[in-house]
Amino acid sequence: MSVRTRGSSAGNPVRAAADIQRRFAAYNAEASESLSVRIGIHAGEPVEDHNDLFGATVQLAYRLCSEAEANSIVVSELVRNLCEEDAARFAALGKWRLKGFPEMTPVFRFEWWK
C-alpha cells in the first residue's frame, strides 16, 4: 500500500491496515481454515498513468509487503515518522536490503494487536 503524502495523513492507512489485521484475526478465531495477509506501507508521490500507479513509492511498498511475515504490518521509516500513532507501537526491524533499492531501508513493524 503506498500513501500519497500530499493532503493525506500517514496514520490513516496504518489504522486501516490494523483494522484489516484485527478483522482477519477475528475471522480466524472462528473459522475452520485460517487466512492471513501481510501489509507493507510506504509514503510518497506515485506516478499515475492510465488509471494505474507506478514508481519508487509503489515499488517500495510492494517490496515491504513481499518481505513481511504473515499477519504483520511493516512500514518504511518515512511512514513511521509521518504517522500520528503512538511511537511505542512501532518496533524497529533493522535495515533491510530490498530488491531494486541500492541503499538499506530502515523498516518498522506496526504492532496492531496492542
Q: Supply the pTM of this predicted model.
A: 0.84
Per CATH, the number for 2-110 is: 3.30.70.1230
- pLDDT score of 55 more than 60: yes
pLDDT band at residue 68 under the 50/70/90 scheme: very high
> What is the helix, strand, coil percentage profile of the chain, to 5?
35, 25, 40
Q: Where are the domains of the chain?
A: 2-110
| Cα–Cα distance, 9 to 27 (Å, whole number) | 28
Percentage, residues of the chain above pLDDT 70: 87
CB 75 within 8 A of CB 64: yes
